[in-house]
C-alpha cells in the first residue's frame, strides 16, 4: 500500500492524532514515540538493552518529562538512538523533539555547560536512589540474620529432642603437659 499519512494500513486515524471523546486530539511528542514503537512491536526493555539508555530516561522521554533527561547534547543522543533502534527517521524525530522542548519551555540551545547540567542531573538521580539502595541492603542483612536465627532454633529443638546429637568435645593433652607430669598420663 506504500507510505500513507495514517498510523497503520487498517486505521483511519491520521499519524500524530489520537481518537478521544471529542474526536481527534493531538498526541504529544512522547505519545507519538510510544505509539510508533508499539505499532512496530518493539518493547521498551529491548530499546534500553540495545541502546544502553536507562529505562528511567526512556520513560521520561515517552511521558514528556524532559527535565528528567540528562540535558543538552545527551538528550539529542538519547532521541537519536531511540529513533534509530525503532527504525524511525532520526532527523525528523530530532526536529519534533526540539519543537516539543520549546513547547515545554525547556532550553534547546546547546551550551558549553552541558556537562555541568549532566553532572547535576546525575547527582539528583543518585541522591534519590541512595535511600532505596540502603534499604535494599538492610533488608538483605535482616533476611540473613533471620535465616541464621531460624537455623539455630531448629538445631536447638532437634538436639533437645534427641534427634540430633552434637559431637562430644575431646580434651587434647599437649605433649608439653605429658612431659611435665608423666605419672598422671600412664596407661594401666
Average predicted confidence (pLDDT) for the chain: 77
- Here the cell at position 97 is 523533539
- pLDDT confidence bin for 171, thresholds 50/70/90: low
Query: Is residue 1's pLDDT more than 90?
Result: no
CB contact burial 95-130 (16+ within 10 A = b; e otherwise) = ebbbebbeeeeeeeeeeeebeebbeebeeeeeeeee
Please state, for a pLDDT cut of 90, what percent of the chain lies above it. Answer: 40
pLDDT at 68: 86
Q: How far is CA 78 from CA 57, 59, 67, 93, 107, in A?
A: 8, 12, 14, 11, 16
Domain layout of the chain by residue ranges: 17-110, 115-165
- pLDDT confidence bin for 70, thresholds 50/70/90: confident
**Is 17-110 a domain of CATH 1.10.260.40?**
yes
Instruction: Count Cα atoms within 13 angstroms, Cβ side, for 138.
Output: 6
pLDDT at 72: 74
Among 60, 68, 6, which Cα is nearest to 33's?
Answer: 60
Task: Say which range, 14-18, 60-64, 69-73, 114-118, has the weakest mean pLDDT.
Answer: 14-18
Amino acid at each position: 500500500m506504500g507510505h500513507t499519512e495514517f498510523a497503520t494500513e487498517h486505521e483511519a486515524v491520521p499519524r500524530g492524532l489520537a481518537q478521544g471523546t471529542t474526536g481527534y486530539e493531538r498526541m504529544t511528542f512522547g505519545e507519538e514515540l510510544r505509539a510508533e514503537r508499539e505499532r512496530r512491536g518493539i518493547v521498551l526493555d529491548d530499546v534500553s538493552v540495545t541502546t544502553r539508555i536507562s529505562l528511567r530516561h526512556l520513560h521520561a522521554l515517552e511521558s514528556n518529562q524532559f527535565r528528567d533527561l540528562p540535558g543538552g547534547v545527551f538528550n539529542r543522543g538519547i532521541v537519536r538512538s531511540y529513533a534509530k533502534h525503532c527504525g524511525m527517521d532520526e532527523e525528523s524525530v530530532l526536529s519534533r523533539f526540539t519543537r516539543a522542548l520549546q513547547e515545554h519551555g525547556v532550553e534547546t540551545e546547546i551550551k558549553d555547560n552541558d556537562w555541568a547540567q549532566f553532572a547535576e542531573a546525575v547527582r539528583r538521580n543518585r541522591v534519590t536512589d541512595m535511600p532505596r539502595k540502603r534499604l535494599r541492603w538492610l533488608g538483605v542483612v535482616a533476611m540473613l540474620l533471620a535465616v541464621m536465627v531460624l537455623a539455630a532454633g531448629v538445631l536447638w529443638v532437634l538436639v533437645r529432642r534427641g534427634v540430633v546429637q552434637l559431637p562430644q568435645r575431646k580434651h587434647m593433652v599437649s605433649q608439653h603437659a605429658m612431659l611435665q607430669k608423666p605419672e598422671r598420663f600412664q596407661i594401666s
